[in-house]
A and B are shown apart, each in its own frame.
Chain A
């Protein structure tokens, strides 16, 4: 072949450029998914505890008649928190509830708790006392300190009182990357108590019994017991984010967001496996029929029809599943497994299995066709029946190709978005050990979570970053499966000779 001619150069350069571009695309996808996933690591970690004084003998509330032990419904409880509600910190508090005065408490509540927006008691300004203290959610590497005042009013008659504490609703201390300690830093004049230090992560709720101290005037409110809640970092933001990512709870829009993607991962995998378990036997049977048994004339009819399925957009197939398959699934299974909505794990898997058929059939048929016909001749000359030829000779010879078929089908299944979106029911839950419960219930996978939530997130925020983390994980999983599948597909044992 002649060497490169000068006037060919532009075209040849273009060819090389395109080749380079293809390589670049792979690198770019990886790079940008990782690049955007970094916003996940800017994630602030929220926390919050409620505190309230109680009598050792709990009495029914004079108004509601209920014994108030749950602090989240106690209107007088103090919330010390770093979360997203008080995004702009101080301003929020100016409009927030001031620390209760004795007058306000009179007649219905014999205790008061509150906080000041300060770091040290020396800065105390009696004008700026609030019931709650909100701060912005923090980076895992930044600590914080809260101060809590507690006093009883003159109406209180018991010799002791108890400071009750519990985590704010939806806050789960074990997911928190901080050490949080509650200490008594000052006792009122004349009262001595044992030093109190409580690890709020280990013991997130409980009560501390204290000798009663009564504030006689509003000025005295801050002279009683003073506690501090000290928050110290114990992990880097990176490890804390990663640890949070591998938790089993996906609730990104809560005040205390949780980004545990394990339920999404498991649901995706299980749905894909169930779909494969249905599609592979049926699909391989069909490809065996096409490759080994069907006369050419019939094959020419069947193949375009099967390929036609591949050209139904998944949005359309999803709608078909929703309107036609889901009601039938409910009808068939409502009695057996107590299914109430057709949008469920089972429906999504069934439609997914249907979607996989053309993939499985066409790759499977290729795998079988790649088996040299000399094997079939040999089997036939030995007097094997069609079944024996297929089962003992052709399928074992095509084993690598069949493995490739299953792997590529799996990658296709876990990457499918619209069908899962429309049919899974959209609830992120850990798959239950009880298979009936899992099958009948709603679920949610990785792809549909990305597709649904990306429409509502703040771009370049932590939620956005976490969606990219899921995307990156999905990309790496499918990349690995596809590469292994490709390697298997190329493997042709009989070429070894």
Chain B
């Protein structure tokens, strides 16, 4: 029997030339992909380095620890930084139980019916919903409907809603990543479903859950639109008193400060704005770094 190609095969020389051309082509393609990867990485590094360089001159302990002076021409940004941290902690406290339980629900209790597929799709879609939409929702519900004015608690609730879908999804996937054998081991010991979840699944999935929590809270801390209409004031020089009233009052925070700064034009000197930008970026970056460390340590311990 003759071969499939038979005598159609090109001459050796032709084939060799063709091969060489293909190899060169492929090489060039790889170089192109490589250069795109390098280009993007360098561009990102350049942006970060620029922000750091521009922000460093303003950066010192006084800048971080005191309030603005001379109508923000001088002084620091402590009240805004403090506000951002408060918002972040509040958000985390609200979103932690709801997000984690929601993730457990999707992963363990919801099953695989069509309705649940739809719910999951909706959670995914919510995760991609613009933050300004959450801002509008927060304004309509937490501000106008419930508290009647902007406040720290309205801001925390809005940011919590913004962070919620991502946390539900990361929790769900962290739980799904726990090997079935762990669950079977738990079941064989006579545990109830909830006991299996609490004693076996949640501890195993904890690093993944914490990573998701921290990453999305960090992202929420840097996001301006949700707090524009719910929690922010331009700036503050006041000392903070820790009591219930604190939650009912609006709070100055870094993203709002920057956004309002642009709106009002050149009130704040450039140097201070860069310093504020750097502070906000570092705040988010440090939070993310914490998440990365948690993840890395968990990976080292991970035995399955």
Contacts and interface: CB of A to CB of B under 8 A. Distances in A.
Q: Do chains A and B touch in the complex (CB under 8 A)?
A: yes
Nearest to B257: A315
Given A306-B41, A387-B30, A452-B263, A23 B222 contact: no
B181 interface: no
Interface stretch (A112-120, A149-157, A257-265, A414-422): A414-422
A312 B51 contact: yes
B44 interface: yes
A1 B193 contact: yes
B134 to A, nearest CB: 8
Contacts of A305: 41, 44-45
B298 interface: no
Contacts of B187: 1-2
B224 interface: yes
Contact of B281 (A3, A29, A313, A388): A313
Contacts of B110: 19
Among B51, B165, B259, find the residue whose CB has the most chain A CB atoms closer than 10 A: B259
Interface stretch (A100-108, A207-215, A319-327, A334-342): A319-327
B22 A286 contact: no
- Interface size class of chain A, counting residues whose CB lies under 8 Å from the partner chain: 35 or more
A297 interface: no
Contact of A486 (B50, B104, B124): B124
Interface in B133-181: 133-137, 139-141, 144, 161, 164-165, 168
Contacts of B43: 354
A193 interface: no
B73 interface: no
Contact of A22 (B102, B192, B219, B254): B102
Contacts of A12: 109, 193-194
Contacts of A294: 34, 37
Interface stretch (B3-11, B115-123, B241-249): B115-123
Contacts of B100: 18
Contacts of A471: 132-133, 136
20 contacts: A17-B101, A22-B105, A22-B164, A25-B126, A25-B165, A33-B137, A36-B136, A36-B140, A282-B39, A306-B40, A312-B47, A312-B284, A316-B222, A319-B274, A320-B47, A324-B50, A387-B26, A451-B259, A478-B133, A483-B125
Given A308-B288, A311-B222, 12 more contacts: A2-B192, A22-B98, A26-B125, A28-B141, A33-B137, A286-B37, A309-B48, A447-B132, A451-B228, A452-B263, A454-B135, A485-B128
Interface of A: 1-5, 8, 11-12, 14-19, 21-23, 25-26, 28-29, 32-33, 35-36, 282-283, 285-286, 288-290, 292-294, 302, 304-320, 322-324, 354, 357, 361, 385-388, 390, 408, 411-412, 414-418, 421-422, 447, 450-452, 454-455, 459-460, 467-468, 471, 474-475, 478-479, 481-483, 485-487
